[in-house]
Structure 1
């Protein structure tokens, strides 16, 4: 399995302070980890500190 996190960093809070925003996103996701089975197909939207959707994470089977 693969864990993929995609975040757009060229707008809003992520563009202004990428290190703090990415840190906050990772802490928030890590805190909610127990709510997911972490199987292929699991995933969710990722939001910045202004609660705007800036990306997503997902679990998938490796290709190939």
Structure 2
């Protein structure tokens, strides 16, 4: 898909360009996933299908937003 890791393999490799706002705000996404994983169904993935798993994520996100 053309994606490159942000950590270069060797020192002589060029730096990876990325949007600065995405790097500054990535902790928000990481914190959100941490709060979602407090829900046992999200952390252990009890749901078998992708649609039901997505539904649990939506419910957990809505409950987190209301809190």
Q: State whether TM-score is above 0.5.
A: no
| TM-score between the two structures when normalised by the length of structure 2 | 0.33
Q: Relative contact order: is structure 1 or structure 2 higher (C-alpha 8 Å, sep ≥ 6)?
A: 1
Could you say which structure has the higher strand fraction? 1
Find the structure with the greater CA-based Rg: 2
| TM-score between the two structures when normalised by the length of structure 1 | 0.34
Could you say which structure has the higher helix fraction? 2
